[in-house]
Structure 1
Amino acid sequence: MESNELIIFISAFIEKRIPEKYLTNFQEILLVSGIFTVASELLAIIIIAIIILSFLSLLFSILFSFNIFLCVLFAFFIPPGILIGVIIIKSEKRSEKIENASPDFLRQLASMLRVGLSFENAMEDLSRYGSGPLYDEIKRAVIEIKMGREFNESIIAMVKRLKSKNLERTFKIILEARKSGGSLADIIDDISNDLRAIIMLKRERRSSVMMAVMFLVISAVIAAPFALGMTGIYSSFMTSLGKGSELVETSNIAAGAYIIIHSILASLIIGLVMYGDFKKGIKFSIPLTISAYGVFYIVSNFGSAFLNF
């Protein structure tokens, strides 16, 4: 059976077993993230990757006398973790592109309103000539309005897909201004200037906290793994002297568990420092954890050889 046939077979099995609403929601997440793959096929690829990695991890554990449970655990969580990381990163890049394009879009929208175009016609004209995720969502909203969907409902649905708090507030203000009959062009111009200032403040904040982020990365990937990796050398030394005990043997396992927890916590703190949100640090957890545990494993298992040399 070829790989494509295997993916199709597993994909069909997934579609039968998982309710359609969950697959639809997952598909929407993928589309919003810019991943244009069928949800069931992507899940099938993840399952195949887990099976292959589990087999390879078993071989690795046998050849290098490594803990089988940890190998299988890594094999099980790495493919879904990578997928989650890719979705988060692509979603953030998309949101960043949308927010960076929004001030210019709003300024153009205000200019079109001043020359006498209606809000709907101005949105339609801008959707024809703009490019990027913001304009793609505007095109979708314009098509929905033409198909008979209520204007406010289409705009609110578009804002939810954009996943930007700034644009959510922006379009809510615009919709309220349309109801009140105020000078919509002036309001949109003011919002455009405010968004531009907010974007500049975010960039300045991100650049100002890079030293703190570098300290956290060095602490998580180098300092803590190296220091705790020395416990493995100590355990080997005590065992070689015949003074091994359960405490000495379990200290290495406890140190490895601490490295994993420490890396995840460091990634969450990085998200808080850089973005003001713990959740955005999740994307750093996988590379930090793998790098930190790799340093710890090398130091604890091969550090004594380097010291003897």
Structure 2
Amino acid sequence: MAVIPSALSPVSETIDGIIPESYILGIQETLIRSGMYVKASDLITLGLLTGIALSILGFILSSLLGVFPLIGAIVGLIAPSAFIGAWIFFMMERRVDAIEQSTPDFLRQVSSLLRAGVGLETALEDVAKHGGGPLNDELKRAVIEIKIGSTFDEAILSMGGRLKSKNLDRTFRMILEGRRTGGSLSDVIETVAEDLRAVLALKRERKANVMMSVMFLIIAAIIAAPFALGMAMTYSGFIESLGKPNPMASAAVTAAGGYIIIHSIIASLLIGIIMYGSARKGVKFAFLLVPAAYAVFYIVQKFAMAFMAL
């Protein structure tokens, strides 16, 4: 299915010629990893054109609302790319999680086939043919790589590398090590499947246990801090309207907005550490928390000032 109309194909082809091929291939690999089977240059074109349109709209709206127009233009320009990036990151995490959850069942199927006397490569191909879901897409790709010249070890390890999953990479390495050392490979795979199932169960339990802390950080980031600072700025503006000007009022609003953005980013990184043990994985939450927090801050200022003016 096409991402952009055929009339915009020349723009996509131009982008293909401008951006280095290595970057295009990297983006394309990321899209495939997230389960989005679209052309990378088409998606870039969509983000670029949407950003330009929103930049113009943001400039006009900022001018009408009395906000510095350049801010609206910059926000409009980067918003589509940020949203697309966050969506790709979310889809990638969701797809990897789905693959991890289905891997123990896949391993049990392979183990059963091995006990029936089927070879490991044949068992892998047979399971890939008769299944569905994201794991089977990766298995089919691994089978194709083996057929065009890659070794079995290389194809399996590259699957774990593409998905950026430590659990899957560890699982596949244990299977390959068991294959090299000899013995009953079906028993090794069965043991690895049970081990992975236990690891995933602990991972789900950990997420459930930290949800209260995550909710606290989200509430603090998008409700408590923006509301408190918004009311403080409103009170300062109200005092100024009574004839007691404050030369620091405008600077205070800018500082409060900057604090809210920084606070939301830090909260996002903390959420990543709590949920995944990695601050990098919390970056995706910043794309949601920062706009939401700043929107609450802005709305509180406007509505509270209008209420005080009554």
| Same fold by TM-score greater than 0.5 | yes
Taking the TM superposition and a 5 Å limit, the aligned residue runs for 1:217-296 are 217-296=218-297
CA distance in 2, matches of 1:269, 1:303: 31
Structure 2 match to 1:208: 209
Structure 2 match to 1:155: 156
CA distance in 2, matches of 1:55, 1:84: 21
User: Identity of aligned pairs, percent?
Assistant: 48
Is the alpha carbon distance of 1:119 and 1:76 closer, same or farther for their aligned partners in structure 2, counting shifts above 3 Å? same
SS of 2:267 mapped into structure 1: helix
CA drift of 1:4 comes to 2.6
CA distance in 2, matches of 1:265, 1:131: 39
Structure 2 match to 1:144: 145
Is the alpha carbon distance of 1:76 and 1:96 closer, same or farther for their aligned partners in structure 2, counting shifts above 3 Å? same
**1:61 maps to 2:54:** no
**1:120 maps to 2:133:** no
Instruction: Tell me if structure 1 keeps the 8 A contact 2:238–2:308.
Output: no
CA drift of 1:70 comes to 2.2
CA drift of 1:303 comes to 0.8
- Residue identity matched to 2:172: F
How does the TM-score come out when normalised to structure 1?
Answer: 0.94
CA drift of 1:186 comes to 1.0
Structure 2 match to 1:300: 301
CA distance in 2, matches of 1:16, 1:100: 40
Instruction: Tell me if structure 2 keeps the 8 A contact 1:174–1:188.
Output: yes
CA distance in 2, matches of 1:262, 1:237: 26
- Residue identity matched to 1:48: L
Structure 1 match to 2:48: 47
SS of 1:261 mapped into structure 2: helix
SS of 1:209 mapped into structure 2: helix
CA distance in 2, matches of 1:218, 1:112: 50
- Residue identity matched to 2:218: V
Aligned length: 307
Q: Using the TM superposition, name which of 44-53 and 172-181 deviates more.
A: 172-181
CA distance in 1, matches of 2:91, 2:251: 40
CA drift of 1:110 comes to 1.1
Structure 2 match to 1:190: 191
Q: Using the TM superposition, name which of 213-222 and 239-248 deviates more.
A: 239-248
Structure 1 match to 2:94: 93
**Comparing both chains, which one has the higher relative contact order based on Cα–Cα distances under 8 Å and sequence gaps of 6 or more?**
1
Instruction: Tell me if structure 1 keeps the 8 A contact 2:57–2:73.
Output: no
Structure 2 match to 1:83: 84
SS of 2:248 mapped into structure 1: helix
Structure 2 match to 1:26: 27
Instruction: Tell me if structure 1 keeps the 8 A contact 2:24–2:40.
Output: yes
CA distance in 2, matches of 1:251, 1:18: 42
CA distance in 2, matches of 1:5, 1:111: 49
CA drift of 1:6 comes to 5.2
Instruction: Tell me if structure 2 keeps the 8 A contact 1:137–1:162.
Output: no
Instruction: Tell me if structure 1 keeps the 8 A contact 2:59–2:70.
Output: no
Pairwise CA RMSD: 1.6
- Residue identity matched to 1:184: L
Gaps of 5+ in 2: none
